Amino acid sequence: MALDSKVPKGPLKDKWTDYKNHIDLVNPANKRNIDVIVVGTGLAGGSASATLAELGYNVKAFAYQDSPRRAHSIAAQGGINAAKNYQGDGDSFYRLFYDTVKGGDYRSREANVYRLAQVSANIIDQCVAQGVPFARDYGGLLDNRSFGGVLVSRTFYAKGQTGQQLLLGAYSAMNRQIARGKIEMFNRHEMLDVVKVGGKARGIIARNLVTGEIERHSAHAVVIASGGYGNVYFLSTNAMGSNATAAWKIHKKGAYFANPCYTQIHPTCIPRSGDYQSKLTLMSESLRNDGRIWVPKSMDDVMAIREGRKKPTDLSEDERDYYLERRYPAFGNLVPRDVASRAAKERCDAGYGVNATGEAVYLDFKSAISRYGKEQAKLQHITNPSEAKVYELGQAIVEAKYGNLFQMYEKIVDENPYKTPMMIYPATHYTMGGVWVDYNLMTTVDGLYCIGEANFSDHGANRLGASALMQGLADGYFVLPYTIGDYLSNDIRTGKISTETPEFTAAENEVKERIDFFINNKGEHSVDYYHKKLGKIMWEKCGMARNEQGLKEAMAEIKALREDFWKNVTVPGDANEMNPELEKAGRVADFLELGELFAKDALNRNESCGGHFREESVELDGLQKGEAKRNDEEYAYVSAWEYKGEPADAVLHKEELEFNDIELKQRSYK
Amino acid sequence: MNLTLKIWRQKNASDKGKMVDYKISDISEHMSFLEMMDVLNEQIINLGDEPVAFDHDCREGICGMCSMYINGEAHGPDRGVTTCQLHMRSFKDGDTITIEPFRAAAFPVIKDLVVDRSSFERIQQSGGYISVNTSGNTQDANAIPISKEAADKAMDAATCIGCGACVATCKNSSAMLFVGAKVSQYALLPQGQVEATDRVLNMVAQMDAEGFGNCTNTGACEVECPKGISLENIARMNTEFLKASLKG
Ligand SMILES: Cc1cc2nc3c(=O)[nH]c(=O)nc-3n(C[C@H](O)[C@H](O)[C@H](O)COP(=O)(O)OP(=O)(O)OC[C@H]3O[C@@H](n4cnc5c(N)ncnc54)[C@H](O)[C@@H]3O)c2cc1C
Ligand code: SF4
Ligand code: FES
């Protein structure tokens, strides 16, 4: 099947408006006869559910947690972008669009990104109207901060808990619709397959995670909003339950999977400390606004610090290598995530890591504290303040900005980050790849949509900070509600979709067989045993940097691991009760397939771009020496994979990317 | 560290349940409490038994899923943290640790340490929202100036993660801190004032209907709340409720 992105004709800035003016609408009275299933109630699914219900459709929403409010979106710390230009620093739709396309290393679809920039401003209005308590300045207006990869202040935030507040906003909008009976909420339910009737998505099979019952649910359209697949690495910043199952199951039923190898490694996470570790914790990137990143210049100091003979605070300014400021003078500590992550890896690989494992660099707030302290002293008319006073005043400002992050760090590491620099190291964070969708956010299966982190759409090969929340809410509040209407306008006479059809029976049987297999297979290894092994292969061979040989090995190793899993996995307990091990088994089984496709995609893409760094593809000389080398001639496409059984047999389809409004350039942050 | 764990095991809602003892060794003080539970579960699985079911997801103190009652305290001995943020350095070699589910009539046990907190959902559905259309035709966000102080206070109230520790720790199983936080967030903001009366009346009525007890001002909730939600919010809810009752 040829890929049709369905991007409307006409000038970039008019596409979305024209599109909205010409789509078919569904009469409000008819919406009452149309059902929509939404899988996932994070920012994307939550905002979509609320809005579709508001419009009049009957929504059935599903989440594996006990409440929509606990979806992984809750954890987002830093903020959400919007081109409001409240700060008057030159922001505009075009600039947000430009930054996003450039930040994504020119591997995203122009029309989608422009639309995202256009609707971004509405998101803030919407959320404020819902009572989201964004940070305010003393004049009562909204405050902004800046994030990696851009030179304007366009990020709106609510302390370090922006995701929480935005999700609670969407959740409250959902609650209003649940109370009105327009959303039926299925908490503690997991979608285990999609059901297609006559080529169209017409329902799902779900497991009630409390009773174990397998349920059939039908609808006129199905929306997947199940989040990202970063947990394929086992260790990541994702919530423990985050998984790829919904996206992978629809892939197996015909939805193409795009750019699986684009994974974002986030530069500012708390380093790993031992083998028992279950997850990695992110320190928001907003910290890079005020923190300076460094490692010692001399190897002697590195050793002295590792052996505890010296403390980081013993080193003077000129004994420190502020390597980001050195290499990228224009952006300094605010370079995009892929650049910052690789630079940290480069220093640590060269031996300059500052903790016991050699995998940590410093993030230091000393100069920020003293800068803010001096400013405060002036504001408060304190003449000749003592150093201690300056420190105290400065610390209060830093605490107001990032207090909860500092507290979190101290809890985990048991060190006071106001007194001694934080240690950070990159970790798997966000997946730019996902289910392929067209301009309408529809997958390659009719009536099957995919939104939020689960789709591949707007971030190209790298995601700039504060853009995922923006995309999730844009999709859910403002894009999908229009595009799905255009599709559903053909369904006003269809009537209820029956669940008593052979298609539902077949899908249900498949799901049941798999569960029975797990319960009855008396193997010798736990599910986590396999998940950890998979994670290790992924991190070592498909991590921050990849090469041909490693990727080929990864494909073979993952396949072998998968075969062993299906022979030797053990799942205690029963199928007809709450059984967390059974839930995990299904998810890891899917990760074991996705991981191989990931490696295959990385192998195919013989260029470096964004979150995909091929060691064979680096700039050899000139100003950009040592930086990632993109190859637009051969690789300016989205790779969309069609399922053909074994992941190794997946067939590649290319969506060629066209750049009419932005010139393809070497990405430089120097 | 070597530890003895006494854990509440209960197969399902209708099972009677009992405490079961487990021995566990080689626990590092850097582990989080939930990582210690992972190690225990791996050990149980390798012996061919059923692991202990417990709720958790984000493991960074924000989703509000993890809910354990440890040595008689919600989320354990450390202040201002959830169970996933509790570290084993809070315990000593040779300790015996008692682990139970959050207990309250309005939080029935589902399995082992997992409880049903859907009563919280129903309270929020009864009015914990602002009735604004979600299709994007609202006024410009800066058209509603909000003083920094009000925004910060609303934010403090909105920080509640809905974990239920306040209920579990209260001798009356009162949900006043949780509901107070929700009511306060909206009471402090100009948006949604038109429905303030119904909001507080409905939420309080639903809270009572769910079988939560009454607040007798003991303040245990504030002490155990991982997000430092203050009693001030209960006072504000009471004021709002009184105002609303007089109007209503
Ligand atoms: C620690 C952290 C900090 C971050 N900070 C920022 C930030 O500052 N700014 C920013 O823009 N982005 C940030 N991000 C990224 C951003 O939070 C996510 O990309 C975004 O929230 C994803 O939203 P979503 O709605 O697509 O998915 P999620 O919020 O992950 O929601 C997934 C939903 O799907 C459900 N689900 C999944 N599978 C199934 C299934 N099979 N059946 C039923 N339900 C299912 C889940 O229950 C859940 O409701 C951060 C991410 C992390 C991890
Ligand atoms: S008030 Fe505190 S203890 Fe109660 S639910 Fe909210 S965060 Fe948890
Ligand atoms: S697991 Fe999310 S708060 Fe503990």
Kindly list the domain boundaries of chain B, sorted by start residue.
Answer: 3-111, 117-132+143-247
Instruction: Please identify, among A406, A428, A450, the residue that sits at the C-terminal boundary of a domain.
Output: A428
Task: Flag whether the pTM goes above 0.90.
Answer: yes
Q: How far is B222 from chain A (nearest CA, A)?
A: 18
Alpha helices in A492-621 (DSSP H): 502-520, 527-541, 548-568, 580-604
Ligand 3, closest atom to CA B63?
A: 2
Nearest to B158 among A122, A168, A573 (CB): A168
What digits encode the pLDDT tens for the residues B42-82?
999 999 999 999 999 999 999 999 999 999 999 999 999 99
pLDDT at B247: 84
* Structural domain that includes position A518: 502-621
Q: Is A281 helix (H, G, I), strand (E, B) or coil?
A: coil
Q: What is the chain A residue with the closest CA to B111?
A: A578
Is the domain of A398 the same as that of A289? yes
CATH code, domain with A604: 1.20.58.100
Q: What is the chain B residue with the closest CA to A276?
A: B35
Asked if residue A11 is part of any domain, the answer here is no
In chain A, % of residues over pLDDT 70: 100
Asked if residue A288 is part of any domain, the answer here is yes
Residues A67, B81: C-beta atoms closer than 8 Å:
no
For chain A, first and last CA: distance in Å? 42
Interface of A with B in 70-99 (CB under 8 A): 70, 72, 74-75, 84, 86
Does the annotation count A337 as an active-site position?
yes
Contacts of B52 in chain A (CB under 8 A): none
Q: Are A268 and A288 in contact (CB under 8 A)?
A: yes
What digits encode the pLDDT tens for the residues A320-355?
999 999 999 999 998 988 899 999 999 999 999 999
Is the domain of A506 the same as that of A422? no
Is the domain of A419 the same as that of A509? no
Nearest to B134 among A54, A142, A412 (CB): A54
CB pairs under 8 A between A and B: 216
Is the domain of A418 the same as that of A507? no
ipTM higher than the 0.85 cut? yes
pLDDT exceeds 90 at position A471: yes
Residues B144, A134: C-beta atoms closer than 8 Å:
no
Nearest to B50 among A66, A127, A572 (CB): A572
DSSP string, B12-65: STTS--EEEEEEE----TTSBHHHHHHHHHHHHHHTTSPPPP---SSSSS-S--
Percentages helix, strand, coil for chain A, rounded to the nearest 5?
45, 15, 40
Contacts of B193 in chain A (CB under 8 A): none
Contacts of B32 in chain A (CB under 8 A): 278, 412
Catalytic residue among A69, A115, A337, A463: A337
Q: Is B114 helix (H, G, I), strand (E, B) or coil?
A: strand
A1 pLDDT tier (thresholds 50, 70, 90): low
User: Is there a shared CATH topology between the B3-111 domain and the B117-132+143-247 domain?
Assistant: no
Asked if residue A213 is part of any domain, the answer here is no
As a whole number, mean pLDDT of residues A654-660 equals 95
The C-alpha atoms of residue A270 and residue A285 are separated, in whole angstroms, by 12
Is the domain of A297 the same as that of A417? yes
Distances (CA, A) of A150 to A20, B105, B116: 30, 52, 44
Is the domain of A403 the same as that of A519? no
Asked if residue A209 is part of any domain, the answer here is no
Q: Which of A638, A654, A499 is nearest to A108 (CA)?
A: A638
B248 pLDDT tier (thresholds 50, 70, 90): low
Residues B147, A136: C-beta atoms closer than 8 Å:
yes
Arch. (CATH architecture) of B117-132+143-247: Orthogonal Bundle (1.10)
Instruction: Please identify, among A621, A639, A661, the residue that sits at the C-terminal boundary of a domain.
Output: A621
What digits encode the pLDDT tens for the residues A126-175?
999 999 999 999 999 999 988 777 888 999 999 889 999 999 999 999 99
What digits encode the pLDDT tens for the residues A525-561?
999 999 999 999 999 999 999 999 999 999 999 999 9
What digits encode the pLDDT tens for the residues A620-631?
988 888 889 999
- Region of residue A212 (phi > 0: left; psi between -120 and 50: alpha; otherwise: beta): left
Q: Are B74 and B173 in contact (CB under 8 A)?
A: no
Residues A161, B159: C-beta atoms closer than 8 Å:
yes
Number of domains in chain A: 2
Domain B3-111 has CATH 3.40.50.410: no
Q: Is any ligand 3 atom within 6 A of the Cβ of residue B164?
A: no
Is the domain of A414 the same as that of A506? no
Asked if residue A121 is part of any domain, the answer here is no
